[in-house]
Amino acid sequence: MISKSRIKQIQGLHNARSRKEEQLFIAEGEKTVKELLEQLPSGIEEIFATSEFLEKEGALIRKSGVLFSEVKEDELSRISTLKTANKVLAVCRYFDVKEKVGPNDTSISLFLDEIKDPGNFGTLIRLADWFGVAVVFCSPGSCDIYNSKVIQATMGAFIRVKVVYTDLSVVIKENNFENVYGAVMNGANLYQENLGPGLLVIGNESTGISIENLKLLTRSITIPSHSSNGTESLNAAMAGAIILSEFFRKIKI
Amino acid sequence: MISKSRIKQIQGLHNARSRKEEQLFIAEGEKTVKELLEQLPSGIEEIFATSEFLEKEGALIRKSGVLFSEVKEDELSRISTLKTANKVLAVCRYFDVKEKVGPNDTSISLFLDEIKDPGNFGTLIRLADWFGVAVVFCSPGSCDIYNSKVIQATMGAFIRVKVVYTDLSVVIKENNFENVYGAVMNGANLYQENLGPGLLVIGNESTGISIENLKLLTRSITIPSHSSNGTESLNAAMAGAIILSEFFRKIKI
């Protein structure tokens, strides 16, 4: 049984302002909670799980020493952010992630400029994890990393990727990036460019990189299309996947 | 006003069996219907649109000569497959798309092995369009290309990409592919491999390429991870984006 006031408090975490005030967020689903238990148990404030999850993962939970409560499915769906609650929900504390390598060395960092779709945002974090991106900087108007849909889409990568919200001009000034690349419509051919360490800017899904941030780019790159009738661009996450892949092929392989 | 029997018939197209029987499917949303009107008006049986859409796109509709009806928003939501109906819905006829180039020349084709998620499936079709893939073959258990969520996710690419459902063994026999590549967990490094024309197999989101299809591969490739703790793989669509990008860099750039 969860108390009414506790239910209300957890429901509060469904919106960004309460999350920020309480410095808490929700992570849901078996896979995500298991990753938290294994990799960052100190980040978990409390776990709410069905008997089914507790039977299966009891040993892991006990080993982690994390506080947990057994709940019925209808209780879980009251605190869940999902249409269909999924066996377990963890209330977690905001936490810091170390950057992979400093932004001044041979690494690549990302800047997400007003990425608004939680699925795209989470997927880009997942890609950043895969490619060992040093830091993901985001414009202040981008998605909240602690939005539960974002957490879900990262597939656990939120535990490992450092995310920082700040303006592009500040990022560039503080980190002294030599190269600031931007993914745009009419830039240089991605595959033919000599790419080095630096910062890669990916723009909003419909409006692209903002006009003021375009001025801060030192190099503009484009993924060439082979479509016979390419009226449509790739989405932000796919473009991110292709460009990061090419960066890491050129820098690290 | 749409008649009750017409509403029932269109609602029937929400499921795959009726679509196949009637050889009709639903395409929704302003962007998708506009692309159909511009690129394939002969594929449209009838358009149902709100006054708002008709005012905006009246000239385009009249020019196309396509049959259309004005509907109220609540009528549209009754025939729509979306949670929130989006101004216009087109009932379309099944149609054939020409392949970009024959599978025997310098092109790359895709084989989707039991891709079940409509978002992933549609995204892979969109990528195939972007990279000029000759044909997308799919195992018979993969998503239906005429599923409205797939149509939506392709962002118009379903008009331009040839999709064929058949077994991998048949595809290989009929097209004489010299190279049959598969995206797997422990294959050769994608970036270091000498890649040529052929067929690229992408497996199911959770189980990968089926055991019987693994036996038909001539070369296994893997995207190397730079993650410090890469417990999670990339999803099928992202893996597809990265691998197709590398193929086209090596073959066409």
Measured between CB atoms, does A131 come within 8 Å of chain B?
A: yes
Domain extent at residue A62: 4-93
Query: Which stretch of DSSP H or E encloses residue B182?
Result: strand B180-189
Has residue A101 been placed in a domain? no
CA distance B223 to B243: 8
Per the prediction, chain A carries an average pLDDT of 91
pLDDT at site A86: 86
Where is the domain boundary, A45, A62, A93?
A93
Has residue B100 been placed in a domain? no
pLDDT tens column, B166-210: 999 999 999 988 899 999 988 999 999 999 999 999 999 889 999
Confidence at A97, pLDDT banded by 50, 70, 90: confident
Q: A226, B132 in Cβ contact below 8 A?
A: yes
In this prediction, the answer to ipTM > 0.90 reads no
Backbone angles phi, psi at A113, to 5 degrees: -100, 95
Six token digits for residue A3: 């108390």
Same domain, A122 and A178: yes
Residue B102 has pLDDT above 70, yes or no: no
Residue B235 has pLDDT above 70, yes or no: yes
Q: Kind of pairing, strands B44-49 and B88-93?
A: antiparallel
Angle in degrees, 0-180, between the axes of helices A118-130 and A236-252, rounded to the nearest 10 = 10
CA distance A131 to B229: 11
Same domain, A114 and A41: no
Same domain, A62 and A113: no
Six token digits for residue A30: 């078996």
Q: What is the mean pLDDT of residues B147-158?
A: 92
Query: Which stretch of DSSP H or E encloses residue A44?
Result: strand A44-49
Q: What sign does the CA torsion over B60, B61, B62, B65 have?
A: positive
pLDDT tens column, A170-221: 999 999 888 999 999 889 999 999 999 999 999 998 899 999 999 999 999 9
Where is the domain boundary, B38, B64, B93?
B93
The amino acid present at A4, given as its one-letter code, is K
Partners of B224 on chain A (C-beta within 8 Å) are: 253
Same domain, A80 and A155: no
Model-level pTM? Answer: 0.90
CATH of the domain at A125: 3.40.1280.10
Residues 38-67 of B with CB under 8 A from A: 39
Where is the domain boundary, A61, A93, A125?
A93
Verify whether the Cβ–Cβ distance A160 to B228 is below 8 Å. Answer: yes
Partners of A248 on chain B (C-beta within 8 Å) are: 226
Strand order in the sheet with A88-93: A24-28, A88-93, A44-49, A68-70
> Which residue of chain A comes nearest to B248, CA vs CA?
A226
Confidence at A1, pLDDT banded by 50, 70, 90: confident
pLDDT at site A204: 92
Number of domains into which chain B is organized: 2
Confidence at B233, pLDDT banded by 50, 70, 90: confident
Q: A165, A135 in Cβ contact below 8 A?
A: no
CA distance A64 to A59: 9
Query: Which stretch of DSSP H or E encloses residue A92?
Result: strand A88-93
Has residue B102 been placed in a domain? no
The distance from CA A121 to its chain's CA centroid, rounded to whole angstroms, is 6
Q: What is the mean pLDDT of residues A127-140?
A: 93
Angle in degrees, 0-180, between the axes of helices B30-39 and B51-64, rounded to the nearest 10 = 10
Same domain, B227 and B158: yes
Six token digits for residue A10: 């957890």
Nearest-5° Cα angle at A87, A81 to A91: 55
